[in-house]
Amino acid sequence: MNDLIPLVKTSEVSEGQPVPVSVEGLPALAVYRLGNEFYVTDNLCTHGNAMLTDGFQEGAIIECPFHGGAFDIRSGEAVQFPCQVPLKTYPVVIQDGYVCIRRP
Ligand code: FES
């Protein structure tokens, strides 16, 4: 049984331009590129009602568009005030040119 959920083609994700993805039954997701690596996190900031894909990716850091808080996309760690609660991250599998996560 294939428990992978394809989110977006790798070719459609550029560094610095995270892509919002909706999957039925899951929270809104954000897909990021960092070099040749891909990362997936929840898209909703843990501080408020902001989508991180509307924010600013600088290397491994995504800055929220609302209050300047930020997270490390690799670990979900909150790295800048006022964000304190870590962001949920999802292990990524690349299959057939797609960024995939495992069905929780
Ligand atoms: Fe993201 Fe406040 S909503 S820092």
Atom nearest to 49 CA in ligand 1: 3
Task: With cut-offs at 50, 70 and 90, classify the pLDDT of residue 39.
Answer: very high
- Whole-number Å distance, alpha carbon 96 to ligand 1 midpoint, is 35
ipTM of the complex: 0.99
Contact 40, 101 (CB under 8 A): yes
Question: What residues does each domain of the chain span?
Answer: 4-102
- Whole-number Å distance, alpha carbon 86 to ligand 1 midpoint, is 12
Q: What is the pTM of this model?
A: 0.96
> Is the domain defined by 4-102 classed in CATH 3.30.230.10?
no
Contact 54, 2 (CB under 8 A): no
Rounded to the nearest integer, the mean pLDDT of the chain is 96
Q: Across the chain, where does the E strand assignment appear?
A: 4-9, 19-21, 29-34, 37-42, 56-58, 61-63, 70-72, 78-80, 89-90, 92-95, 98-102
CA distance 85 to 100: 25
Contact 73, 32 (CB under 8 A): yes
pLDDT at 1: 47
